[in-house]
Structure 1
């Protein structure tokens, strides 16, 4: 155990977060996301929700302040319903952890899949909410 490290963050996830540099991206994938087939590096976080992981990760991980939208979500496909409630949680967590309002981008499902293939890592979670996938872009510590 280490002081100040959220216990939800596994040693493998901590290693990935440490290895990442400015501009690198990581996906927090819901349980429906094809994580294994889209990951260059796959981290398992089964049984954990994305909001809990997001809170813990953003305790250590600076979002990129040099881009307009350091967080990207998978947009809902036409006909699949309205905005997922979980997105409001993401916005609240990001704003709180960064100490200011954070702008969030939306991209369509297939663009999200292609971008996920290029990210540094994918974290496969047990999140059950639909359209809960999120990409975080790492910033710098000033």
Structure 2
């Protein structure tokens, strides 16, 4: 049995297949999922698992060079924006776009990881960096 990293086999598979600039999305339970994008649904109930727990788990196992969030989160969900600023301090390029534009970006994702999060604009597009 796998001891470290992600136990979720779908997340492990997607992360292992990521190349430079490919993207994945960590999403709240309300974000629409495009039909052609794989959905890894982790949601168990409202709030479980949370956006933050899921994001932190992914960040521990995934090299991110850029992240995009909905600009609305800055006013409507400051905790999400604060988490993003922490990523910026670690060298991740952060960009904010209107939520409608954010939803269009999800069409390019390798996968959308759906959480049980039920707070507004708790979504992020993570673009793969390289480890060398």
Report the counterpart of residue 110 of structure 2 in structure 1.
Answer: 120
Q: TM-score, normalised by structure 1?
A: 0.78
3-state SS of paired residue (1:60): coil
Taking the aligned partners of 1:124 and 1:33, their CA distance within structure 2 comes to: 8
Taking the aligned partners of 2:72 and 2:77, their CA distance within structure 1 comes to: 8
Report the counterpart of residue 119 of structure 2 in structure 1.
Answer: 129
Matched, 1:86 2:79: yes
3-state SS of paired residue (2:60): helix
Equivalent residue pairs, number:
127
Taking the aligned partners of 2:8 and 2:49, their CA distance within structure 1 comes to: 11
User: When you count strand as a share of all residues, which structure comes out higher?
Assistant: 2
RMSD value over aligned CA atoms? 2.2
Return the offset for 1:103: 3.4
Taking the aligned partners of 1:57 and 1:39, their CA distance within structure 2 comes to: 22
- Extract unaligned runs of 5+ from structure 2: none
Q: TM-score, normalised by structure 2?
A: 0.84
Report the counterpart of residue 67 of structure 1 in structure 2.
Answer: none
CA offset digits 1:69-94 (Å, max 9, x no partner): x01001218xxx924122213433x3
Taking the aligned partners of 1:26 and 1:12, their CA distance within structure 2 comes to: 12
Matched, 1:105 2:95: yes
